[in-house]
Amino acid sequence: MSVQFGRWNFEGQPPGPDYVEKVSAALAPYGPDSNETYSKGGVHILYRAFRTTKESHRETQPHISPSGAVITWDGRLDNRAELISELRNVLAFDSTDVAIVAAAYEKWGANFYAKLIGDWALSIWSPVDRSLLLVKDPIGTRHLYYSFDKNQVTWSTVLDPLVRFAGKTFALNEEYIAGWFSMFPAVHLTPCVGIHAVPPSSSVLLRPGKHTVSKYWDFDPTKSIRYRTDAEYEEHFRTVFAKAVQHKLRSDRPVLAELSGGRDSSSIVCMADRVIARGGAETPRLDTMSYYDDSEPNWNERPYFTKVEEKRGRTGWHIDVGLEKGPASQRRPESPNTRFVPTPGYDGRPSPQFGMCLASQGNRVVLSGMGGDETMGGVPTPTPELEDLLARAQFRGLAHQLKVWALEKRKPWLHLFWEAARGFFPPRLVGVPKYMRPVAWLQPNYVKRHWATLTGYPSRTKLFGPLPSFQDNISMVNGLRRQLARTALPFEPPFEKRYPYLDRGLLEFMFAIPREQLVRPTQRRSLMRRALVGIVPDEILNKKGKAFVARTPLVRISKEWTHWAEMTQHMVSTSLGIVDSEHFSATLQKARRGEEVPMVTLMRTIFVEEWLRNLRTLGVMNMETTPKSELILHASIRG
């Protein structure tokens, strides 16, 4: 991922050279391939490239369009050929992505964003009408932050320089922290009051005295794909899945794929091999990387990723996770005095073993299976399908499906009916499921202030309009968007992560087909498993779901008990009115004894506490609660 930074002083004064030098140094680890600038009329823009495609080596950014617009682009266009065909009078077949974007802007104006398919973040400074546009792709795979006041606006791919070099301290955003105890913070939030993130599928228009956030694209609820036979759905799936993988293989260097041994990662690798064998990929080679831990009894994926390696005739890079365990005092420090880290628990630096893998093979692009479980029907629930039947008053079909699913789930049909019906009622009336409720060690007043965030931003299913299953798909995508927004930008070494299951074309197809194609009473991931027979080894397609690995954090808590016990004595999160330290200490004691506790949220609480301590040491936060005025602004952005 290339990185961009800009500052626009409304009165026309350029930033000082010391400021520019510090910002450039902060961006350097993320974009080592170039250091380019634009400076004119109070606007100063920096761009540092991280090149992953053959066309990117010919780019010069910031790019100046014929109308004088200054464009910085971090991304990959998946529909290059289509756009070049539409703009053939001004483009060549080998035009760079940023040249295509500039030509599209010149022809179609500021409403061209929806035509850009791929992973990207874009900024356009227009000196003609003195405006700044910040835009992100519909899924939100890139970061783009901004802050503004009456005198200036500053924007950046990396949050660190916006915070450290602002010349002031920031109030801590309570809602952002609340999201880490649940389903991640809302996409527009950052840890700092006064600094915002550009939401996915949205544009931000900034002028002196004006700040407008607009959504430019969304999935079409009226799109419907219906076939007569399963075979037709399977053929269509193979086509769109292959295209999704092909898009992510656009690289002038070998691509590295994460291979866990599960269906998601294995399917990506096997389909990528198929695409490469047919000459449909630009990458010269696909490598794989797999994690294992022989000391973890609940995690035995080695036989499965070995099956994929046998099929492709190549052994991948194996990383022993057990070697990376160790006392907190021996783990790599977060360097809190030099960098602002926005992500609790991870600052973007990969493990030494992973870094060695990238360096030895020359990989700059990593394929991830994130989103596969959610989009492919990995959760075997009939609720969306039953909600569709209920909303459309198809009571005969509803009665049949309730009977079939009740036998499969071994639950009373009335229980399944209530699970489907409750979604149409307000969450405050019917409550939220137990697994989504705030953990007991959060302070009551904090829970009251941030109930919606702490319960995963629940919403009521609408009886009329788009099908409930479509509404469920959008809710799922929003959850993935929040997760992507909290993914730390990699550095030391940098690399670009790509997500085949979040490909726009693939998602549009999955949202347009009947829900019964995804999940059936006797088969989760039904369409995926049927369509990939003969492509992915049968042992993987038909394997049982991976067990949740809970032993490692329990062992860590036990081995490092003195460290955790000391931490609970003077918790920053307690002083901020977030965590009840006594209750949290008691929960840690339960975990130490091997009792059942909400382990994911417990570990996140530890990460948040360590992160807050780093922020306090760094000295850029005043560690106070969010002012009401800022809460109102955030609410208006969300709306």
The whole-number pLDDT of residue 634 equals 45
The whole-number pLDDT of residue 433 equals 83
The whole-number pLDDT of residue 331 equals 43
Residue 634 lies in a domain: no
The whole-number pLDDT of residue 417 equals 92
Of 215, 249, 284, which one is at a domain's C-terminal end?
215
Residue 638 lies in a domain: no
Kind of pairing between the strands at 317-320 and 286-292 = parallel
Residue 631 lies in a domain: no
Q: Cβ of 324: how many Cβ atoms within 10 Å?
A: 15
Same domain, 75 and 184: yes
Indicate the number of domains in the chain: 4
Of 409, 435, 469, which one is at a domain's C-terminal end?
469
The whole-number pLDDT of residue 323 equals 63
Same domain, 211 and 264: no
Q: Which of 249, 266, 259, 319 is nearest to 291 (CA)?
A: 319
Q: How long is the chain? A: 639
Residue 474 lies in a domain: no
CA 537 to chain centre: 29
Taking only the tens place, the pLDDT of each residue in 541-559 is: 988 765 455 566 777 777 7
Same domain, 39 and 76: yes
The whole-number pLDDT of residue 3 equals 97
The whole-number pLDDT of residue 558 equals 77
Same domain, 319 and 423: no
Question: pTM of this prediction?
Answer: 0.93
The whole-number pLDDT of residue 302 equals 86
Residue 225 lies in a domain: no
| 136 three-class SS | strand
Taking only the tens place, the pLDDT of each residue in 220-238 is: 999 999 999 999 999 999 9
Q: Are 122 and 75 in contact (CB under 8 A)?
A: yes
The whole-number pLDDT of residue 333 equals 43
The whole-number pLDDT of residue 595 equals 87
Q: Cβ of 412: how many Cβ atoms within 10 Å?
A: 11
Same domain, 211 and 258: no
In this prediction, the residues of the chain whose per-residue pLDDT falls under 70 are 297-298, 323-337, 545-552, 624-639
Residue 363 lies in a domain: yes
Residue 629 lies in a domain: no
Cα separation, 20 vs 47, in Å, equals 12
The whole-number pLDDT of residue 112 equals 92
The whole-number pLDDT of residue 592 equals 87
Residue 546 lies in a domain: no
Structural domain including 426 reads 383-469
The whole-number pLDDT of residue 630 equals 45
